[in-house]
Amino acid sequence: MARIGFIGLGNMGGPMAANLLKAGHAVRGYDRSDAALTAFRDAGGAVAGSASEAASEAEVLITMLPAGAHVREVWLHQGGLIEAAAASGTKPLLIDCSTIDVASARAVAEAAEAAGLAMLDAPVSGGTVGAAAGTLTFMVGGTEAGFARAEPVLRGMGKTIVLAGGPGAGQAAKICNNMMLAITMIGVSEGFLLAQRLGLDWDKLWAITSTATAQSWALSSYCPAPGVVPTAPSNRDYAPGFMAALMLKDVNLSQAAAEATGTPTPLGAHAAALYRQLVEAGEGARDFSVIFRWLDGQARAPAGG
Ligand code: NAD
């Protein structure tokens, strides 16, 4: 069992760190939010007073933070985690599970390598339900040697663990996944909205489409129409889950990557525009499936418009 430092104990990091505790690891956690620290302590974790304190004596260091700016701040900032990890003498393995831009992931991995430490980008899929159940999918970028060290630890939090390629490859896989998810969630929302206005019962629609060709995770496990899938955020006033503001971040990352590579992604661009409108409407802190309710309140654009 390993000594693990875990920074970022929010909607995802909190249950992930709790599963590491359940797997028998010694986990010391840090978050700048007191509420997150209290929940981690209640789950049996040891609380640190700073990120670098969580790093001391750790054999593995994990971050689960909102975006690239937070990841760079925590790992690279003066007195940051790479400096603390390099000074600790334990030569910990560094793993960032946040969803961030490929450039930030590679910059942090390079700084780690320069300090003589192995670093992996290991973003996840599966949402807060998968985080709580320990069934996440990890998409890992880094070396095979780093992956071999990480796998037993990641097994405590996930079911499917894939080495996608070198540094940044995990993030590349993740932004492609989330671009597809954003498009799919909007598609499912449109289908359920149209069904309602055609007088169809949502439960019947779900029973048919979840085993038909429209089947998807957004439909089967996370239905945005309330009352259909009991565990979905749509049944708790769209409390996250996965915040719409974070989905906008991810779909914007996909569009920056598409721009940089000259890739045609017209539906990705449209999804980004719709999520931007949703966030501008003040729904950023709700689950990203709230796009369904927001769409319900929109007027149809005139034909040809
Ligand atoms: P969250 O906002 O609930 O959690 C992030 C945590 O990081 C917060 O508790 C915040 O206080 C903490 N934090 C921020 N800056 C910090 C700092 N400098 N030092 C210490 N703590 C700091 O977000 P989340 O939903 O847990 O998402 C985390 C990451 O996982 C994001 O990159 C997101 O895109 C990704 N992700 C989320 C989901 C999901 O369903 N929520 C699914 C897959 C991936």
- pTM for the full predicted model: 0.92
Q: What is the DSSP string of 163-223?
A: EEESTTHHHHHHHHHHHHHHHHHHHHHHHHHHHHHTT--HHHHHHHHTTSTT--HHHHTS-
Superfamily of the domain at 3-165: NAD(P)-binding Rossmann-like Domain (3.40.50.720)
Same fold, 3-165 and 172-296: no
Atom 14 of ligand 1: nearest residue by CA position: 65
Whether 33 is in the pocket of ligand 1, judged by its Cβ within 6 Å, is yes
Q: Is 62:4 a contact under the CB 8 Å cutoff?
A: yes
**What separation in angstroms does the CA of 81 have from each of 7, 77, 275?**
10, 8, 33
pLDDT of residue 304: 66
Enter the CATH code of domain 172-296: 1.10.1040.10
pLDDT of residue 97: 98
| Ligand 1: centre distance to CA 305 (Å) | 38
pLDDT of residue 305: 55
Q: Is 206 left (phi over 0), alpha (psi -120 to 50) or beta?
A: alpha
Whether 284 is in the pocket of ligand 1, judged by its Cβ within 6 Å, is no
Whether 136 is in the pocket of ligand 1, judged by its Cβ within 6 Å, is no
| Ligand 1: centre distance to CA 63 (Å) | 9
pLDDT of residue 112: 96
Which amino acid belongs to residue 7?
Answer: I
| Ligand 1: centre distance to CA 116 (Å) | 27
Identify the residue whose tokens are 């920074």. 7
Domain ranges of the chain: 3-165, 172-296
| Ligand 1: centre distance to CA 47 (Å) | 17
Whether 59 is in the pocket of ligand 1, judged by its Cβ within 6 Å, is no
Instruction: State how far the Cα of 175 lies from the Cα of 150, in Å rounded to an integer.
Output: 22
Q: Is 61:93 a contact under the CB 8 Å cutoff?
A: yes
| Ligand 1: centre distance to CA 302 (Å) | 39
Tokens of 46: 């040891």
Atom number, ligand 1, closest to the C-alpha of residue 12: 26
Whether 124 is in the pocket of ligand 1, judged by its Cβ within 6 Å, is yes
249: Cα separation from own chain's centroid: 11
Q: Which active-site residues does the annotation give?
A: 174
Mean pLDDT by 10 residues, the chain (305 residues): 96 98 97 97 97 93 97 89 91 97 92 96 94 98 97 98 96 96 98 98 98 98 97 97 96 96 97 98 98 96 75
Q: From 7, 19, 31, give the residue whose CB has the most ligand 1 atoms within 8 Å, as the site to mutate.
A: 31
Whether 127 is in the pocket of ligand 1, judged by its Cβ within 6 Å, is yes
